[in-house]
Amino acid sequence: MTEKFDLSIERTLDAPRDLVWKAWTSPKHIKRWWAPRPYQTPEVEIELEPGGKFYTRMTGPDGFDFSGTACVLEVVPNERIVYVYDMYSGDTQTSVSLVTISLQPSKTGTDLLITEQGVFLDGHDDPRSREHGTNVLIDQLERSLQRPSG
């Protein structure tokens, strides 16, 4: 069984585009904001080029993992990343998606647009949960942009 979904989230972030790009493309920065609390992101691999890999693994306090493995399709530095990814809950594949991350300068910082089209597999996820989870991550991204990057 599969369920198709389309997601589009727009936010204006109070940070310059180059800083948002760095937060989205640097493993060191991604580890600071990628996982919803109390999860952590101990593993991030990024090959930021067409055909490259984008991998994240989140681990909960109970040791349970969620991971995503992406193939990068397009990179326009400081502007856009397009990738296709598989999401896993433990060893179970939960979804396959096409994602576009778009960054544009705005008067107050950076306009972020995330679009995701995909399918959930065998009822392991749903559109409302995915949208909620993505918004939680963007909230954490915003908070990380306000803290010094020590």
pLDDT at residue 148 is higher than 60? no
Query: Is the link from the previous residue into 38 a cis peptide, with omega within 30 of 0?
Result: yes
Once rounded to an integer, what is the mean pLDDT over residues 115-137? 92
Q: Give residue limits of the domains in the chain.
A: 2-146
Cα diameter, the chain = 46
Count of C-beta atoms within a 10 Å radius of residue 13: 21
Q: What b/e sequence results for 55-89 when a residue is b if at least 16 CB atoms lie within 10 Å of its CB, and e otherwise?
A: ebbbbeeeeeebbbbbebeeeeeeeebbbebbbbe
pLDDT tens-digit readout, 48-79: 999 999 999 999 999 899 999 999 999 999 99
pLDDT tens-digit readout, 106-122: 999 999 999 999 999 99
Architecture of the domain made up of 2-146? 2-Layer Sandwich (3.30)
Structure tokens at 43: 């593993």
